[in-house]
Amino acid sequence: MSSEAGAFLQVQALAKAFVPARPVFADVSFQLARGEFVCIIGHSGCGKTSILNVLAGLDQASGGHVFMDGREIDGPGLERGVVFQGHALMPWLTVRQNIAFAVRSRWPQWGRAEVDAHVRKFVALVGLLPAIDRKPSELSGGMKQRVGIARAFAIQPKMLLLDEPFGALDALTRGSIQDELLAIVRQTQQTVFMITHDVDEAILLADRILLMRNGADTAAGYQPGGIAEVVANPLPRTRTRVGLHHEGGYYELRNHIVDFLVSRALAH
């Protein structure tokens, strides 16, 4: 297999099976263009996180191939930044030190002043300069997630992988970090693949939304999960969280995704 020209990320016939005869998903194929923001949405157990882990190089697929920028992904790498629901910060290091650790891994030849200037730039992007020398135990949940996002952006990855990064946050904190993420993505033209359970979050952030169905027993036998539909977001890219529900086409898009989740994503 080889990557196809034009697509920045090319996922070809991906499959994952823990039990050989009953793959969680099979024949999952999609592309991301450079600078595109794609969300994947579906119920628990459909394999969303397995797909993200394969893209991150943290897990191996049972079948299929993933190419990024013309090269096959076969393990983790600094050209992909990952943010999980848990912030995964090192508790004994300050905000500055947590991000500097990642930056030095990416650019080992940099001196201390260069590393620190780079760290401060990305801490400022997420509004945390006043807390730069605090440890994670001194930060709120939302602040810890901001540090995780700053660390992922600081290594300037070719692609950002987000696994429900705001899932554990209260609604107000979640909303403000969504706004920050959107602003940084627009500024950096970052390519993003994100898992979410939140329909409005997907509509706010994504250029396209992948709707994923669960595997199911049918009259014809077991049917693996997979991408049931790819929905292009017709709302203007200048959309905001506050103004989202005023955009023409918002309710039709939202109702379509909710209808999928309620009536088509799971077997009945």
CA–CA separation, 151 and 102 (whole Å): 7
Write down which residue in 104, 129, 156 finishes a domain.
156
Q: Do 252 and 191 reside in the same domain of the chain? A: yes
Instruction: Establish if 84 belongs to a structural domain.
Output: no
Write down which residue in 156, 177, 209 finishes a domain.
156
Q: Do 126 and 248 reside in the same domain of the chain? A: no
Residue type at 100 in one-letter notation: A
- The pTM of this model reads 0.91
Q: Which residues contact 219 (CB under 8 A, 6 or more apart)?
A: none
Q: What is the pLDDT of residue 213?
A: 94
Q: Do 144 and 226 reside in the same domain of the chain? A: no
CA–CA separation, 42 and 46 (whole Å): 7
Task: Quick: pLDDT tens for 178-192.
Answer: 888 888 888 888 999
User: pLDDT band at 93, cuts 50/70/90?
Assistant: very high
Q: Do 67 and 199 reside in the same domain of the chain? A: yes
Is a pLDDT exceeding 80 seen at residue 83? yes
Q: Do 12 and 25 reside in the same domain of the chain? A: yes
User: pLDDT band at 2, cuts 50/70/90?
Assistant: very low
Domain that holds residue 250: 1-79+160-268
CA 157 from chain center: how many Å? 13
Write down which residue in 156, 189, 208 finishes a domain.
156
Is a pLDDT exceeding 50 seen at residue 143? yes
Q: What is the pLDDT of residue 3?
A: 46
Task: Quick: pLDDT tens for 200-236.
Answer: 999 999 999 999 999 999 999 999 999 999 999 999 9
Q: Do 37 and 169 reside in the same domain of the chain? A: yes
Q: What is the pLDDT of residue 39?
A: 97
